[in-house]
Amino acid sequence: MTPISRRGVLLGAAALPLAGTALARPALAQTRYPVRPLQLICPWGAGGGTDATARIVASLLERELGQPVNVVNRTGGSGVVGHAAINASNPDGYTIGIITVEITMMHWQGLTPLTYADYTPLGLVNRDAPGVQVSASAPYKDIKALAEAIKAAPPGKLKASGTGQGGIWHLALVGWLQAMGLKPDHVRWVPSNGAAPGMQDLVAGGIDIVPCSIPEARAMLDAGRARSLAIMAPQRDPLFPDIPTLKESLGVEYQTAVWRGIGGPPKLPAEIAAKLTAALEKVAKSEQYAEFMKSRGFGMDWADGAGFGKVMAETDKAMGEAMRAAGLAKS
């Protein structure tokens, strides 16, 4: 992987004229921000969960800032292209983006030199912990029974799925197995294109466990085809209060989550960042936002810029450990 990709060069070339206009503009533009529409880059395609979150944040942010906020899907490269575009945008506060947990994973796999440190964190807006889902016809009554069955089974006998090889839910499984003192490949990972096909295969009897987030499993749970035995979070999810945490039911201290947050390019002026964070906090605590997140089953969470930065750093460290353990990390 070359450190300067062709796309980076293109983006650089694209940023030049923009930088020119920014220089030509008098410095007083800074005092009255924002004076023109903002762009919110979404590294994932239209119609998905991240896109939906980006769009609701954008429409509420628009009201706070008094300027249109346009969501722009910049897809490609499994999220790398969009994240690179956020990083390479002009730090004038008019281009921000939605950053997803993948930013803490991709650099370990050697897919991009970008890390979480290449962004100005503005605010965390969502966090979802994975549950441990099994088929409704599976014999495991609770997480204890499943844990014992896993320990008793020969390595590789039980199978789990829910995302691609080295994806977030694969790493959640690895982390959980390690926390129980087992080898990371004790339960074999079956790669799938996302959580929905994984849940389908779970119900079809092809696999044993799907450690995906609970909103992704919700339809099958509601249909009574699958059961969620535990959630890998510090406390129960208020939307799904019947699912116990790993700690209370198994005594295993392990937690992980996917999250989405808003970030900007590095060197974003502090006063602009502060203004955006304040607006985002209002958005995240608004009633409409709560209503939307509840309808999608997404986990509400809020952290300001510094807090979001801390979450990213912690996740990055945990992901690095899990990936090295599973033999997935390149660096």
Backbone angles phi, psi at 183, to 5 degrees: -70, 150
Q: Which stretch binds other proteins (CB under 8 A): 155-163, 235-243, 277-285, 302-310?
A: 155-163
Binding to other proteins (CB under 8 A) within 246-265 occurs at: none
- Could you tell me the CA-to-CA distances from 331 to 110, 158, 174, 215 in Å, in that order? 7, 29, 18, 32
Can you tell me which of 22, 111, 239, 252 binds other proteins, judged by CB under 8 A?
Answer: 111
Q: Does 14 bind other proteins (CB under 8 A)?
A: yes
Give yes or no for residue 137 binding other proteins (CB under 8 A). no
Interface residue with other proteins, options 38, 129, 323, 328 (CB under 8 A)? 328
Question: Site for other proteins (CB under 8 A): which residue of 22, 64, 149, 159?
Answer: 159
Beta bridge partners of 264: 120
- For position 154 contacting other proteins by CB under 8 A, the verdict is no
213: closest CA among 177, 247, 167, 181?
Answer: 167
In this structure, what token pair is assigned to residue 136?
């409704």
Stretch in the footprint of other proteins (CB under 8 A) among 107-115, 116-124, 277-285, 301-309: 107-115
Residue 108 engages other proteins in binding (rule: CB under 8 A)? no
Rounded Cα distance between 158 and 98, Å, is 36
**214 CB neighbour count, 10 Å cutoff:** 22
- For the bound state, the minimum distance from the C-beta of residue 275 to other proteins, rounded and expressed in Å, comes to 23
Q: Which of 89, 112, 120, 133 binds other proteins (CB under 8 A)?
A: 112
| Vertex 33: Cα angle to 28 and 39 (nearest 5) | 130
Selected binder of other proteins within 107, 127, 225, 260 (CB under 8 A): 225
Query: Which residues, 26 to 45, sit near other proteins by CB under 8 A?
Result: 39, 45
- Dihedral of CA 191/136/253/284: which sign? positive
Binding test (CB under 8 A) with other proteins, winner from 24, 32, 47, 241: 47
Q: Candidates 139, 181, 287, 295: give the one binding other proteins (CB under 8 A).
A: 295
DSSP sequence for 61-118: HHHHHTS-EEEEE---GGGHHHHHHHHHS-TTSSEEEEEEGGGGTTTTTTS-S--GGG
Q: Is 53 helix (H, G, I), strand (E, B) or coil?
A: helix
State yes or no: residue 227 binds other proteins (CB under 8 A).
no
Residue 187's region, left for phi above 0, alpha for psi from -120 to 50, else beta, is: beta
Structure token digits, residue 174: 């690895």
Angle at 257 between CA 254 and CA 263, to 5 degrees: 140
Side chain identity, residue 229: L
Binders of other proteins among 175-214, rule CB under 8 A?
Answer: 185, 188-193, 196-197, 199-201, 203-207
C-alpha span between 18 and 92 (Å, rounded): 10
Kindly state the smallest distance separating residue 65's Cβ from other proteins, in Å: 18
> In the window 52-71, what residues touch other proteins (CB under 8 A)?
52, 55-56, 59, 70-71
Interacting residues with other proteins between 266 and 285 (CB under 8 A): none
Number of residues that bind other proteins (CB under 8 A): 76
Residue placing its CB nearer to other proteins in the complex, 127 or 170: 170
* Contact between 219 and other proteins per CB under 8 A: yes
- Interface with other proteins includes 220 (CB under 8 A)? yes
